[in-house]
Amino acid sequence: MKVKKGMYATYGGQYVAETLMAPLLELEKAYETLKEDPEFLAEFECCLKNYAGRPTPVYYAKRFSELCNLKIFLKREDLCHSGAHKINNVIGQALIAKKLDKKIVICETGAGQHGVATSMACAMMGLKCQVYMGTRDIERQKPNVIRMQLLGADVIPVESGSRTLKDAVNEALRQWTAQAENAYYLMGSALGPHPYPAMVRDFQRVIGIEAKSQISELEGRLPDAIVACAGGGSNAMGIFTPFLNDKVELIAVEAGGISSDDAQKQGMKAPHAIRLTNCDVGVFHGMKTRVLQDRYGQILETTSISAGLDYSGVGPELAYLVDIGRVLPRSAQDGEVLASFEILCKTEGIIPALESSHALAYAMRACDAGDLEPGAVVMINLSGRGDKDVNTVIEQRRLGN
């Protein structure tokens, strides 16, 4: 698919304040040059291998497969250094920051995995790191907050709005505007103004490139389907992209949150974070995309047990791929996410992130829903490990959820 100035049909673009156009154009020019530079690519690949620990394995989850009536292979991004796929993109962007001679790296984080990965890369490359994080996410992701601080990052609490990822992005963008000359904004997902969606996708596509080779070696063919959770879209686009021209079903699983009745009781405006279906188009965080909003265009606060999927918008390319029917959008509610989290722990000895558990939850009902045939070969992108979520799971048990 050809992209015209960062557009995916009607999605994408650069909807930012005039003060940010200069650094965006500087970044765009640098990336267009560096992505074809053999020396830069060699340095990036060296860091992926020797620092991030790539390639990550593909694991046949035999006991979990039996429960799903599918043949499930897990792409083990949880085994990356930092515990998630985020490190792939972070290394690439941190190298660009160095090439641009920026001294400060600014980022946002929800689940904390992007913040941890950015903190690690900045420590390794000698860059100052500022991480903006909503106070609600700080409360439910304390282990990752401690990790970021140990790595030398300044974790800056955001008190505005819903105190989650949306508000952390808002504040990070404001701070970038104020420090643009010396600072680099390191976007964590395949969203925001061009060139971020394309750049993040390109740095994450190593997941799908590896997965394609690995599943072909294990099964002698490509999978019937690939499943990934979808917040902004970095892990989904990372594994989907190399398969876009193949006869493989691509399934993006969003945060279904809680029931409408429970949301109403708790005074919540949006009981979920489902953006890929029945959601209006709007401008949000520098891009035109599908956004949860009210009839006046005000952004709605979302609800999800997973901090990393608790976001009101979605990456423009992922929205486009759903529109043209190449990606099938699905969702999973908090209750079934918790159940699949515990089931993978007990059947495979793997503690998954709650974000990744959305993909697992979908797989557990895909046959009953008629989406997949029994025995189908399915790859799930296990985008992160769940150490960070243990306190959340314990709290949900205490509440009887």
Residue owning tokens 């686009």: 237
159: its two tokens: 């008190």
Is 62 designated active site?
no
Identified catalytic residue from 71, 75, 86, 102: 86
Residue (of 149, 131, 119, 117) closest to 52 by Cα position: 117
Exposure class string for 1-27: b at 16+ Cβ within 10 A, else e: eeeeebbbeebbbbbbeeebeebbeeb
d(CA 210, CA 184): 29
Backbone φ and ψ for 121, nearest 5 degrees, come out as -65, -40
> 38-75 burial, b for 16+ CB within 10 Å, e for fewer?
eebeebbeebbeebbebbbebbebeebbeebbbbbbbb
Q: Which of 189, 306, 383, 388 is catalytic?
A: 383
Told to judge if 306 belongs to the known catalytic residues of this protein, a careful annotator would answer no
| Contact between 387 and 143 (Cβ < 8 Å) | yes
Which three-class secondary structure state does DSSP give residue 283?
strand
In 10 A of CB 127, how many CB atoms?
Answer: 21
- List strands edge to edge, sheet with 7-8: 7-8, 11-12, 287-290, 281-284
Q: Determine which one of 28, 108, 171, 317 is catalytic.
A: 108
- Specify burial of residue 150 (Cβ count, 10 A radius: 0-12, 13-18, 19+): exposed
Q: Determine whether 43 is an active site residue.
A: no
CA distance 47 to 68: 37
Q: Which residues are catalytic?
A: 86, 108, 383
